[in-house]
Amino acid sequence: MTHIKACGFTTLDPMVAAAKAGVDSIGLVMIPGLKRSLSVRKAQTLLKSLDVALKGHPKPEIVGLFGGQTSEEVNTIASKLNMNSVQLCSDESMSFCSEMALPIYKVIGVNPDIPINSQLPRIMVIAQRHSMAGHRIVLDSKPTALDFGGTGRKFDWEIAGQLAEAFDIQLAGGLNPDNIAEAIKTVKPWGIDTSSGIETDGKKDVKKVIAFIKNAQEADEAAKVKGFRKVLRSLF
């Protein structure tokens, strides 16, 4: 099954809706100055309330999104919030990654304004390094080196599909309830990641959150049925 991650939550109700719909990971933005960023105190309040709301229900993985911070800052914040993983969204080095106390999602930026074929050698080298280190790879649209992702822009899924054949990637960038099934069918990624695609007027939309997860799950089921039929045809 495709791993489903939804990021950028700032209020409780959409988080609860995502968890109850079956999201695998919830990402909280801990990068200062971004529109979806949370203070440590706000994140603590949200996570405590989430625990109460999900009593008796499986709790998703909690991922902290970081960028432009020191390794000490990342580890301290993640520890205070009892997070399960960290997502590094900037140009962190392998040395920086080695200092992390938690499992890592590493964002590799794809510039949607430049033909992805010309970016492929760079992406492959970075992806291989992080894959060998056991890091999860997130491919996301980053028009400039200063972006931390979450732009809501998609890039060439055909090329992403080639990368997904070589690495377990999590696809991000412009994913929403309307296109997620096609994204899964085209790319066949290990995971998917959304933020702005489940928002209305810049705020998380519960209906879109639920629809995104439902459509992703249904796409997985359709692929499973197709695969089963293919096996049957090969036998008879």
CA distances (Å), 224 to each of 22, 28, 84, 212, in order? 18, 31, 29, 19
pLDDT at position 228: 45
| Domain layout of the chain by residue ranges | 3-235
Contact 30/65 with Cβ under 8 angstroms?
yes
Q: What is the pLDDT of residues 29-79, one digit of tens each?
A: 999 999 899 999 999 999 999 999 999 899 999 999 999 999 999 999 999
pLDDT at position 25: 98
Average pLDDT on 102-120 reads 89
What is the CATH architecture of 3-235? Alpha-Beta Barrel (3.20)
Residue of 208, 211, 205, 216 whose CA lies nearest to 13: 205
Angle between helices 206-235 and 180-187 (to 10 degrees): 40
Model pTM? 0.92
List beta partners, residue 66. 88
Residues 6+ apart with CB under 8 A from 203: 10, 11
Average pLDDT on 216-227 reads 81
Contact 129/94 with Cβ under 8 angstroms?
yes
CA distances (Å), 157 to each of 6, 17, 32, 102, 168, in order? 19, 28, 30, 30, 15
